[in-house]
Structure 1
């Protein structure tokens, strides 16, 4: 289990403690619960003799998930782990839907509206909302963890793949290219780009080899656009043959390979677009920031024979990675949901107004998105339910639990556990 964060009476962060110690402090009424996610307690009496040891916050930013790990550099112990799921795709879909409705509205015979100019000036460093949300999510959790634990340094995976190194192997000297890291950058990029399967037969879950689409013997280059993945059987069978001759009986696959070879890796492009902006956000905290590449992360993880997970990748970021202690760690799964919709007029799929939303968001002391605990003592739904609540003015709430959505729970049975903050939480198995 992850350790429990501790705050003193002045809300200053102390060293995290074991969950058993936290239970004992709560049982003896020496502390109170400060926050449920991540679980934090606050002491009722100050401890002037408490020792504070700074930790390193490690981040592995991704297009869909970001790994977060809090590591003790001296002992290698991982004291906190989390996986943050972004909502970039949801934002993109919402913007696309709004744009389509706006265009259809302009094509209909509606009232004339004079054109407005200079209302779309983009400031320097502007990013599309689906990418900016990733940076804001990470920034929120970096600031939150800095308030809950003593953090002395930050490590960030700056690039998933060192593109300069792949194009010019000598850019950082021969020791980097010909040492133990040789090939990690290119191979990891190809594994992501070709979906970890053989380009010629589609087989998965076997050792794959880096293969030249146009053979070196026939003048093919080492460019990343000329490389793919192949199983040993297909690689041997193709040899130095021209790919058009090798796949002359499967023209569909041949066309797919040519198209995929020229296509950039979408997720890597999203990460590369936001990486420098995120680095500036981390530097603004005033803490020293260490950077690393995805190839180095995989090398550190492979050396310690750890499984592939987002939070483990985060713990392996950078050259400062010690021998990690991860026994018993259960990561906190954080999903970004946003703060709801501010539109007062709801429309159908054609953009025609069909409903009106109320501006009152709080009903009986609860707001949609709060995490509540409902203990139902009477009626058809007797039992205990914990989850995200959907509020109604009638007082009949719905609760989204792990087992599914439970409808018709009265507000009288509900107790708030965690107020709405734009995220939902669960713990990994």
Structure 2
């Protein structure tokens, strides 16, 4: 097992990983930018190093600075968290080349799944259901229009090397396509330093269902069931739950088994999430694979009792999956997570500022990197906390989450709790009739 791990991230995920490292008896090293110098989770680490000023490109995305911390601290492993460099194959390779184990999939898997069109091709080659889409678009207007016609309108323009909903734009006709491609290309270049985009068939009112997997370095892969992440704003997840409500249970379980078997045949070797789109008719198609710990991993932990961070670390250290996971895992109850953001609750624009009051609820799981008196800066994602409620039934989990969000006290910044409560109280959500456009619909009629 590792003796000391650098946590190359910030906020809630840094706190989450540091907590598990302490429980495992592994030395921990935190990093911080000037903006996070007083972050409360730094107290959880055995050591903490400044890595630069507030802008992410000068701190959390500074590969040389992070490798310097690994060397200076004598760490033998690095956990990337999520976001930032967690899915950067070049970074993972640089970490390994420095003699430090990267706690995540091998760089080849990060590279293979990081480019969306190549990941779709790989999934299709191994028999996964993949919806209609194109290869990377050229700059030729005629070929772009031909690709869209072959797929069939409406289409969605998507960055080939990105995620998080950035640069995803619909086009419902040939007249709308060129402008959508130009804008998506520009956004992809700014967001991911790669202007490549491609097309997918736009499914109206779909559900977003993803499957948690874990592999080891000995050829084994298992799934830990699914999460429904359909409630989104601007293509970004806001509420996630497990198990998925109102689905063909046997069909979803069969798909989960198929995904795990496929990844085992392929040789996948650490944590990952296969994201699928579920059409209104119940058919599934492959969207992408995230080769890292997910923001919403906590709901899976709540229903399975598995510490996914610990499992990820143990797999990276070379342990066998048979020793990491119980032989049989059965989900217990229902878990729902709400992401609390410092943002306007109707327009969803970031709201940086001081946290004059920050009092999270009790009686539920709360993951956060903030404390009262801290400041939400404009330099990073404005997520304040993740509130996770677990109960024997979905109805009870919803009620527990509603009560917890009502108890949360935040002053000094705007926040999205009013929007979350309206969504959780909507008849559609209560019935499990969720889709990716539900939140805007609920807000529009409020």
TM range (shorter): under 0.3
- Structure having greater relative contact order (Cα 8 Å, sep ≥ 6): 1
Q: Give the TM-score of the pair, scaled to structure 2.
A: 0.25
Larger radius of gyration between Structure 1 and Structure 2: 1
Q: Give the TM-score of the pair, scaled to structure 1.
A: 0.26
